[in-house]
Structure 1
């Protein structure tokens, strides 16, 4: 091959190369230009038309096109055309990752939510906007606090506690209440916080409410629960309020309301007296039974008696009788007993008057009639004193009759001696 045969193809190749790369340049200043002969930086890529500017990075296993960075109009897009991660490194350490699932991780290479952050999140201004449009600028010491907090599942607070602080616009925080859950016993405490709770050394001090995770008991104002106690209220009261405020008792029965109930009824509910009602609820083994026992506001007690039947001046009302081994009745003074019958100046009625009274009234003087007893009942102390009075009067009648018999006996013996 002669020299002309060699030079001709080289000339043609050089012409084509200059034509094809006329806008790609590598000036002596170290800059590089693609699509431009005057790059303004170390690397400048320019598309003279309105087509997209693309940078494609791929290797032998990038079957779908690898990594694509594209500028279209004024928009830049990064496209991983393979299913992989996009990681950002600083000083040899991964600082942020866009996972293949579309999750962003900051400080973590395993984001499991749309945004996973290992560390703190800081808002220098503007605060945080929630799905309902509300903005939270602080959770510390200003009046713009959370008005409410919603969770569709649960709220978890690691191994620490929840503090409920008072709002102090002066800039300080004074812990008011404290919620603590033990991760070993399962106990739950709500207590009045003190400054030591900043680093809780005794998270169970000043207990307001305590739930025992082992025994299932509840303590109010105490953290001590005896073995079989389910509710312990220390140094205070338990108030049940409302139109149906009741305490129900049961022992593993099928009754919805239990077998026994205690409730307070007002005068409007009873129609007569307000008080404490012991009752058998609907569905109990005895059915609905009201006023099994009733203690009125006036201190009257009824057993099986409707409080509307209570009468003034008495404290105990019992239906169906009382069975007991001993009843002791005391008197206020000796004047209430019948010893006065034996006084010298006591006027004993002649038997003729007694007989006339009996014939007319069909009962003894000073003794209530049967109709009076049915209507008004009897006072046991008064009745015993009245019966004793009649016995003592009968004794006096008997003594007088005995004296008369003895006198007649003497007179009879005297007559016999003169015959």
Structure 2
């Protein structure tokens, strides 16, 4: 009886909740996660074969103001697939400088993936964010291999094992964490680069598909889609997305109870975002305009601050912290009151930041304790010397 009661309660909840689908059906089902920050797909374009592309939208619903520079055309293959066709130098899609795509190398995790179109691609830039002296992140094809630059121009930037694997209609994915980058082709891990392939440089430049602002290394072939995520996707996640791209699952009808599935006593929602007490879920899978009661909340974190106790972690001096507080009015790396008021806080991220500060405070206490012991030892030695002189006199 309890099972049936739970089921009907969930069905009732479904009927009164308004669902927000910021992500369109062009986004693979497995890619519809909160970390999806961009999905540009040529299938979104309308027009005849060879027509100019004038507007490009983000199917993830995050990035706006995407523009086209020069001549980018819509190519329609014999099997009806749509793809962007780039005409070479100074012809590209400009994503601008959205904060959602400002991934800091060596600090942030991110994934860039794309689906190459028809014809075996020649040399050129697939996607790049760069400056006059280097790139923040960059993927290109050169000499039949993928070349990747993350956080500058690190010495280890060529994925040699991709040699001979570049072909038409392949899916590539670059998953970057704090200390390594992994290249996948058609859902399979090809090669891993360690810290030697990760820099920390950032550049205040536009993000371009098909070109780079750093040097003239334009792309003159086809791209069907580009996706970007604010996490280093796992192998299983990348495989699932690739599978959805080549064999798209049937889309359930919006507004029907078929979106809910029951598995034993469990009920799950198949796709899209859920909004309760509001009509806008934004890019969150669940948005609630009201209080939530729970006995426990489990938050997963892939970047727990054990790094504070490593030699690489830079511990600010007390003077530097004091100066920062005087200028900013809050601790370094901690959001200000205005930021929290405008954007709220993420529990997992805030717990990580607070623990980071606790661990740094522990190191300060240890340093202070050592200095106090040293001072006490010096005082004891001085006292001993004074007592000895007093006895001699």
Question: Could you state the TM-score of these two structures normalised by the residue count of structure 2?
Answer: 0.31
**Structure ranking higher on relative contact order (CA contacts 8 Å, 6+ apart):** 2
Larger radius of gyration: 1
What TM-score, normalized to structure 1?
0.29
Which has the larger share of helix? 2
